[in-house]
Structure 1
Amino acid sequence: MNDTGHDDGGFLDAVKRAASRLRDDEARRAPPEFVAGFRIVRRIGEGGMGVVYEAEQEQPRRRVALKLLRCASSSASLRRFEREGKALARLQHPGIAAVHAAGTCATPAGEQPFLAMEFVDGEPIDRWLDRRGASHDLRLRLFADVCDAVHHAHQKGVIHRDLKPSNVFVDQDGRARVLDFGVARLLDDEDDGAERQTIAGQLVGTPAYMSPEQVAADPSAVDVRSDVWSLGVILYQLLSGRLPIDVDGRTTADVLRAIAEQEPRRLGTIAPDCRGDVETIVHQALARDPARRYPSADALARDMRHFLAHEPIAARPPSRAYLWSRFVRRNRALVVAGAVAVLALIGGTIVAVVQMVEAQAQTAHAKGVNAWFDTLLTFADPNENGRVDITLREAIERAADRIDKLVTTPEVEASVRLMVGHAFRSYGDLDRARDHLEKCLRLRRERFASPSDELAEACNALALLYERVGRQRDSVSLYEDAGRQYLELHGRLDQRHARALVNAGGALVQLGDLDGAEARIRAGVDLLRESNPDHAWLGTFLAHLANVERRRGRFDEAERCMRETLAIYARTDYADHPYAAIVRRNLGGLLAESKRFADAEVEFREALRIMRARHGEQHEWTLQAWRDLVAILRSQGREDDARATEADATAARAGK
C-alpha cells in the first residue's frame, strides 16, 4: 500500500511494462558484428541490466556468452555489473559457468562494459527433467549437484539472490550449471555496506523465488539461508510442477504479500508420493524462520543424498525408532543377525521394526511393494505366529517364499526381489541372494529397454553378488554394462558411471589384472574429482586405488591414497563410518609392513574404536580389530600391554 492507501501492485506492473518497452526499442537495434574481439552470433537473452549474446572468440577458439551492459544503465546497475564480474572471478566449480574476460569496449551505441562467460549449451533444469520424464530420484540427485555449486559460491562469499529454474541449466553432458550472478551479493565487498543502504526498500530477485526476508527488502537480513529458501522453491517445483505459494494471476504486490504472510503448501498435498522424508527435506528448506532452515546448501544436499541412500536425514529428529526404520530400508545394510540384536537396538519387538518399515515405505516404494511389507509384518507378528523371539531374518525368509503369490506386476516383483536379494547377501545366504537378484535382472531386462536406471541398478546389484561368490569375470561384465547405461543416460560425469568403473576395477584386482584395474579406477577417480570432489565416494574410490598401489609395491602412493581417503571421510561425515575403520586397518597393516609400528598402532586403535561403536563387541570385524591391536603391540615387544588388551577384549565380549 502507498501513503494514500491505494494498492501499488498496478503501479509496479505498469513500471515493468514501461521498462519492457524500452528494452524492446533497444532490441530492435541491430547488434554489432564484433565486440572486444568477439564475433556476435545471435542474441540469446536479456535482463534489466543488459543483453546477452552467443559469440565466438578467436584466441582461444571457443563459444562464449557475451553480456553487454546497457549504455543508459544507472550507476547502481554499473556497480552490480562489476560485482557480477568480481563474483564470477572467485568461483571455480564444475557446476558454475566460468568467466573468461571482462572489461569495456566501444560499440555503435557507445562505450559499454562487457562480461565474456562460458557458454552453456543446454536448457533449464525443469524443462530438461520433464522432457525425460525423470524419476524423483534423478531429480533429487541432479538437484543435490546444484546445491553443491551454490554451496561453493557461499564458501567464496557470494550469495546468488536470484536462484530459479531459468538460472540453472543442464548441459549436454547432463551436468547442472548455475548461471547469472547479476544480482549476487559479495559478503566481503568493501562497497557492500553502501550498496545495502542504496537498495534498502528495493527488491532484488524474482518474486516467486524470493525468501520472506528478501521480500522485506532488508538487505542486511539476507544471508546464505535466503538462497536455501530459493533452492527449496525450485526443488518443490521440480517434484510437483507447482510453486509452494501460488502466484498465478497475481500482481507483484500480491505475490510479495503472499510470500511474506503465507505458509508454503505442503508438498504431499500436491505430490502424494513425496510424503515422508522428501516432504520433510523440502519444508525444512522452506522454513519461514531462517534459523529453522538448513544452515547451508551443503546441508540440504547431504540430506537429499542421505534419503537416496536410505539413510537417516537430519531434517527429522533422529529418534531411535526413526533411525532404525531408515537402517532397515537401506538395502545393503540389513545386517542384524537375530532378535537379540534387534531388541538391543530399538528396545522393542520385531513387530515394531516392521511397522516402522511399512510406514516409511510409502515414500520410496509403490503400493505393490507395500503389500509385500504387509506380509512381512504378518510373519513377524507374535500374535500371528505364536512366537515372540522371531528374528528379522526369519520373517524375511518366510515372506520371500510368498513373493510369487503376493506381487501382481513384474515391476513390483523385481523391486521386491532386489530388496530381498540385498538382504540375503548381507546375511551371507549367497545362494538365496543369487536366486533373487538373477530373477530381478531377468524381469527388468524383459520390462525395461537398455539403457535404463532400473536395469543398471539390477546389473550393479548382481555384480556385487557375483564378485562375492568368486565370479569376477561375470561381475566385471555386469559392472561395465551398468556403467555404460549410466553414461548413456546421464553423461560421463554421472557419479554412478564413475562408481561402476571403480567397482569393475576392484573385481579386476581379484583377477590379477592390475593394469585393467588401475585404468578403470583412475578413470573413476578423475571423473569424480571433476564432477564432485567433495563427495565421500571419492574417498572410497581412492581406497580402491590404494589397494592397487599396494599390490604393485608402491607403498608411498598407497599410503597417500589412504590418507586422502581419511581426509575426505572427515569432511563428509564418514570419519566414524565402518568404511573409515576398514581404511584405517589397511593403513595400519601397510605401516606395520614398513616397521612403523607406533604409527600403525594409532590406526588400529582408531579402527577398533569405530568398530566397537558401530558394530558392537560380538561382530567379527570388531574381533579382528582387537586381534590387530594385540598383534601390533607384540610387534613392539610390549607383551604385558598385549595380554592386558586381550583381557579387555574378553571382558568386552562378555559385557563386563
Structure 2
Amino acid sequence: MANVPLTPERLARMQECFERALELEDSALAAYLRDLQTEDADLAMRLRGLLDAHAQTGSGFESPVSLEFPEDEGVDSWIGRTVGVYEITRRIGVGGMGAVYAAARNDDQFRKRVAIKLLRAQTVSESAVRRFRRERQILATLEHPHIAALLDGGVTGDGHPFFAMEYVEGEPLTTYCDTRALSITERLELFRQVCSAVQFAHQSLVVHRDLKPANILVNADGQVKLLDFGIASLLPSALDGAEEETLTRAGARALTPGYASPEQLLGLPIGTRSDVYSLGVVLYELLCGKRPFQSRSGDAVPARPSGAITAERLTQLSERSSDRARMRVAGDLDAIVLKALRTEPERRYGSAEELSADINNHLTGRPVSARPDSMGYRVGKFVRRRRAESVAVALTLVSIVGGSVVAIRQERAANRERVRAEAEGKRAAEVTAFLTTMLGAANPGAFGRDVKVREVLDSASISANALARQPALESEIRMIIGGTYLALGEFPLAEAQYRLAVHAQQRRGSAGGRGEALALSQLSMAKEFQGQFAAADTLLRAADTLFTRHGFVDDEQRISHLDARARILSSIGDTKGAEPIFIEALALQRRQVPANDSSIAASYTNLAVVQSDLGNNRSAETLMVAAVAAARRAYGTSHPHVAAILSPLASIQERAGLPARAESTYRETIAMRRALLGDDHPDLAWTMHNFADFLMTKERYAESVAWSRQVLAMRGKSMKDEHPLIPASMSVLGRSLDGLDSLDAGERWLRESLAIRKSVYPPGHFLIASSEGQVGAHLALRGRYASAESMLLKSEQQLVAARGDGAPIVVDARTRLVKLYQRWGKPDSVRVWQERMARSAKGS
C-alpha cells in the first residue's frame, strides 16, 4: 500500500492519535489501533511505527518510571547519596529521561543549593558519553538571566550521567500566570523573557527540544528561568561531521508529545524552528488555558486562540467579559500564534527573536508580520496608535471628542467618492488599475522584505506625475494618496498631494469646479492638522465660494463642509461665528433619513462645546446628554465611541459648576475605557489626564499628582514622548506639585514638558506658547517676577496670534498675568489686564 502524503492535516491528526495512544492501557490500545486500521490504514501504520520507536528507547517521552527511580520517594536510594561534590537531600520529580533532586555541596567550601538531574544509565552508550561531555562544555557557556545555569556535570560511578543546575524556586509559567490572574499583556511580557532565553541558546547553536511550561519556571521576582537545557541537542555546525548524524537522530528522542513539533514526532532532523513551534504551543496555552489540539479531533490547524477562550477562562485572564477577551486576542495574537504553529517549518517564524519582535509590535500597536501586509491594515494600525496625537494637533473641538467625528466623516466622504467613481465607470477602472500597480510595486525586489506604507506612497506620488494629461484621474489619485499620508501623520506630504490635486482640477476649467472645492477642503484639513488655522480658514473660504457656485453632491458632503468651517472658526477664536454653522449642520443631520445616530452624536457634541465656550454651560450639558443618548442608540450602553462622548460631557459639567456630576462622569468614562480598551490605551490616558486637570483646578493636588503619574507610567509603552499627552500630563503634574509647594520637582516637569513641545512642534505653535506661560507662572511663584513677566507676555501674544483674542487658552494666559502683577504689587498693571479681559468677553 502506497503511503498517503503527509499533509498538514495528517501531521496534526498523527500527533493527536499519538498522544491518545500513550494514555491507553495495553488492551485499550490494541482496540484503538484496530479501529484506526479500519478507518485509516496508513495512519495506523505510521502510529505503530512511532509507538515501536517509543517502546524501544523507553526514554524518549514522558513514560512510566523504571526501578532506577522508584515511584515511592521513601524508598529512593538516591536520597542521601553523594554525586560529585553534592549531597542529595530530596527528590523534586521524575520524568522519562531520569529524575531531578535537590542537593547541596558537601565539600565545606560553601553551602549552595543545586538541582541534580540524573539520566538513566541504560540510555547511555560510549559515543553518547563523549557527546554528553561535549554538550556539557557548550551548555556551560549559556550564561543568560533567564536560563538556569549549568554549574557542573559528570558521570557517577555506576554509570549515571548527571547535571548540576542552578536551583530555581518557582512555579511553571502557566501556573504562575493563572494563579495570579495576570492580564494578557503581562503574560506576553513574561513570554518574551522566554523567547529571549531561547534565542540566546539558538545563537549558541543549542536547540532545547523540550519547551513546555514545566521547564519554564517563574520565580518570586517575576523572572523567568528556562530549565532542562541539559538534554538539549546541538545544531550541526556545533559538532564535527563524525558526530553530526548521530546527534541529529538522537535529537528526535527527547520530547513531550503535546508540545513537540511535527518534525520531532516524525523523527526528522530538527532546527531552531522546532523550538519556535513549541513556543507557539506554550503561548496558545498561556492565552487559552489548553493546548492547541487538546480538545479537537482531526483538524488541520488549531482553533484560533480568540475562539478557544471560554467563559471559565476569563477570571484567570483578569477580563470582565468573554467578548472583550476575544477582541483582545483576535487579529494580531491569533495570527502570531498560528504562524508559530505552522506544520511546515519554513512557514513559521525564522527565530524566537522574530516571534518576540512580532509580539512587541502587537503590544506597541504596530503592524505584525504575521498579518497580511495590506496597506489598509498598516494604515489602520498607525491611526489607532496615533489617533489622539493627530487629532490633538489638529483642533480643539475634535480633540475633546477623541477623534471619532473626523474618522466617521472621512469614511463617509471616501465611500461617497467611491460610489461616484463606480458610476463613472471608465475612470473607476483607471483608478483601480493605478492603485493595483501602486500596491503591486510593494514587492521584496523593489523595496526589500519589510515594505512600509510610506515607501509605497512615495513611489505612487512619483508615478502620479505621469497622469498630467488626465487631470481628473490625477486629482482623484492625489486625493487618495494625500488621505493616506494624512492618516499616517505625514501632514506636509499630505498637503503637497492635496495642493497638486487642486492644480489638476484647476486645469480642467469649469468642469473641475466641484472637484476643486473638494480638493481645497482636503488641503484645508492638512493645514488644520498642522495647527495653521488662518491658512486653513482662507482655503475653506475659497472652497465655500466654489461649493456655492457648483453645489454639493449631497447633504452629507454639505454637513462635512459646515463642520469643517465651524471647527476652523472656533480654532481661530471666532466661537460666535462657529455657533450658527454648527446649528445648521445639526439641523441638516437631524433631517437625514434614515437617522444616523453616530453622526448626530458628533454634531451635538460639537455644538455643545461651542455653547460651553460661549458660557452657556447648562444648555451645553443638555446637548451633551442628547449626544450620549444618540451614541448609545448607535453603539450600545458601553462602547469606545460612547466613552468618547462621555469625556467632553464631564468637561462641560465641570465648566457648568457641577463638580460632583463631572467627577462621576470622569470616573464612569475611566471605568468604561479601562474595561473596553485595557490599562495602557491612550484613550484611557486622555480621560485620566482630563480628570487630573479637573482635580488640580479643585486644588486636590495630591490626587491630581497620582492620576498624572498613572498617565506618565505609559510613557515609552503605549505612548512615546512626542505623543501630545505626555507633555500635557507633565504640565499638570508640574503645576500640581507647585500646589503642594514641591517647587523644584514642579519646575523640572514643566521645563521637560516645554522641551518636548519645542522638539515636536514648529516655532510659534500655541502648545509651545502655552507651556512657556506655565513656566512663567511657576517663576512668579518663586518670586522671579521680571523673568516671569517676559515669558508670560510672549506667551499671551503668541496665543492671541494662533487662537484668537477670545479663545479660552488666551483667557488663561491673561489670568496668569493678572496673578503675576498681584504678587508683584503692581495694581495698575492688574487693572490694565482685567479691563482687557472684560472687553474681550464682551466682544469689543
* Coarse TM-score class (shorter-chain normalised): 0.5 to 0.7
Find out whether 1:68 has 2:106 as its counterpart: no
Distance 2:330 2:680 in 1: 26
Contact preservation (8 Å) 1:87, 1:184: no
Q: Secondary structure at the match of 2:390?
A: coil
User: How many pairs are equivalent?
Assistant: 467
Q: Which residue of 2 aligns with 1:210?
A: 260
Distance 1:85 1:422 in 2: 61
Find out whether 1:94 has 2:145 as its counterpart: yes
Cα shift at 1:435: 12
Find out whether 1:387 has 2:551 as its counterpart: no
Distance 1:122 1:42 in 2: 17
- Residues 387 and 478 of structure 1: is their aligned pair in 2 closer, same or farther, counting only changes over 3 Å? closer
Find out whether 1:196 has 2:421 as its counterpart: no
Cα shift at 1:44: 0.7
- Aligned counterpart in structure 2 of residue 292 of structure 1, from 347, 371, 375: 347
Distance 1:33 1:504 in 2: 66
Cα shift at 1:276: 1.7
- Aligned counterpart in structure 1 of residue 411 of structure 2, from 350, 354, 361: 350
Q: Which residue of 2 aligns with 1:264?
A: 302
RMSD: 5.8
Find out whether 1:133 has 2:181 as its counterpart: yes
Q: Which residue of 2 aligns with 1:85?
A: 136
Using structure 2 for the length normalisation, give the TM-score: 0.44
- Residues 21 and 6 of structure 1: is their aligned pair in 2 closer, same or farther, counting only changes over 3 Å? same
Counterpart of 2:86, as a letter, is: F
Q: Which residue of 1 aligns with 2:210?
A: 162
- Residues 86 and 314 of structure 1: is their aligned pair in 2 closer, same or farther, counting only changes over 3 Å? same
Q: Which residue of 1 aligns with 2:48?
A: 7
Counterpart of 1:56, as a letter, is: A
Distance 1:436 1:276 in 2: 38
Q: Secondary structure at the match of 1:200?
A: helix
Counting only pairs closer than 5 Å after superposition, residues 218-617 of structure 1 correspond to structure 2 as 218-219=268-269, 222-246=270-294, 262-271=300-309, 272-273=326-327, 274-330=329-385, 333-336=388-391, 337=394, 349-351=410-412, 387-388=559-560, 398=603, 401=624, 402-403=627-628, 406=631, 442-443=667-668, 454=679, 476-478=705-707
- Residues 406 and 418 of structure 1: is their aligned pair in 2 closer, same or farther, counting only changes over 3 Å? closer
Counterpart of 1:194, as a letter, is: E
Q: Which residue of 2 aligns with 1:120?
A: 168
Q: Secondary structure at the match of 2:362?
A: helix
Distance 1:301 1:291 in 2: 17
Q: Secondary structure at the match of 2:382?
A: helix
Q: Which residue of 2 aligns with 1:527?
A: none
Cα shift at 1:73: 4.1
Distance 2:117 2:727 in 1: 44
Distance 1:437 1:326 in 2: 32
Distance 2:602 2:47 in 1: 71
Contact preservation (8 Å) 2:163, 2:230: no
Distance 1:414 1:59 in 2: 64
Distance 1:67 1:263 in 2: 36
Contact preservation (8 Å) 2:361, 2:367: yes
Contact preservation (8 Å) 1:97, 1:177: yes
Distance 2:43 2:376 in 1: 53
Find out whether 1:22 has 2:67 as its counterpart: yes
Q: Secondary structure at the match of 1:169?
A: strand
Q: Percent identity?
A: 32
Cα shift at 1:24: 4.2
Contact preservation (8 Å) 1:403, 1:413: no
Counterpart of 2:341, as a letter, is: L
Cα shift at 1:55: 2.6
Distance 1:477 1:444 in 2: 18
Cα shift at 1:74: 0.8
Q: Which residue of 2 aligns with 1:604?
A: none
Distance 1:7 1:387 in 2: 72
Distance 2:640 2:346 in 1: 39
Distance 1:281 1:435 in 2: 46
Cα shift at 1:25: 3.7
Distance 2:275 2:231 in 1: 12
Per-residue displacement from partner, 1:312-364 (whole Å, max 9, x unpaired)? 2121233221122222322665415389xx9xx99x94248999xxxxxxxxx
- Residues 124 and 217 of structure 1: is their aligned pair in 2 closer, same or farther, counting only changes over 3 Å? same
Cα shift at 1:282: 1.1
**Ranges in structure 2 where 5+ consecutive residues have no aligned partner:** 1-41, 310-325, 417-553, 568-597, 606-623, 761-844
Out of 184-193 and 294-303, give the one that drifted further.
184-193
Distance 1:94 1:431 in 2: 53
Using structure 1 for the length normalisation, give the TM-score: 0.55
Contact preservation (8 Å) 1:87, 1:181: no
Cα shift at 1:43: 0.8
Counterpart of 2:303, as a letter, is: R
Distance 2:195 2:274 in 1: 13
Distance 1:118 1:504 in 2: 48
Distance 1:436 1:43 in 2: 62
Distance 2:351 2:604 in 1: 42
Q: Which residue of 2 aligns with 1:633?
A: none
Contact preservation (8 Å) 2:207, 2:272: yes
Q: Secondary structure at the match of 2:116?
A: strand
Q: Secondary structure at the match of 2:67?
A: helix
Contact preservation (8 Å) 1:324, 1:353: no
Find out whether 1:47 has 2:105 as its counterpart: no
Per-residue displacement from partner, 1:594-636 (whole Å, max 9, x unpaired)? xxxxxxxxxxxxxxxxxxxxxxxxxxxxxxxxxxxxxxxxxxx
Contact preservation (8 Å) 1:228, 1:293: yes
Contact preservation (8 Å) 1:84, 1:181: no
Distance 1:353 1:122 in 2: 55
Cα shift at 1:479: 6.0
Distance 2:352 2:137 in 1: 21
Distance 2:660 2:385 in 1: 20
Q: Secondary structure at the match of 1:67?
A: strand
Q: Which residue of 1 aligns with 2:423?
A: none
Find out whether 1:31 has 2:41 as its counterpart: no
Contact preservation (8 Å) 1:228, 1:294: yes
Q: Report the structure, 1 or 2, having the larger helix content.
A: 2
- Aligned counterpart in structure 2 of residue 179 of structure 1, from 215, 220, 227: 227
State which structure, 1 or 2, has the greater radius of gyration over its C-alpha atoms: 2
Distance 1:173 1:295 in 2: 31
Contact preservation (8 Å) 1:459, 1:479: no
Per-residue displacement from partner, 1:493-515 (whole Å, max 9, x unpaired)? x989xx9xx99997889979899
Q: Which residue of 1 aligns with 2:436?
A: none
Q: Secondary structure at the match of 2:165?
A: strand
Per-residue displacement from partner, 1:69-127 (whole Å, max 9, x unpaired)? 3444413654565455345422232222222x213376xx6465433222221111112
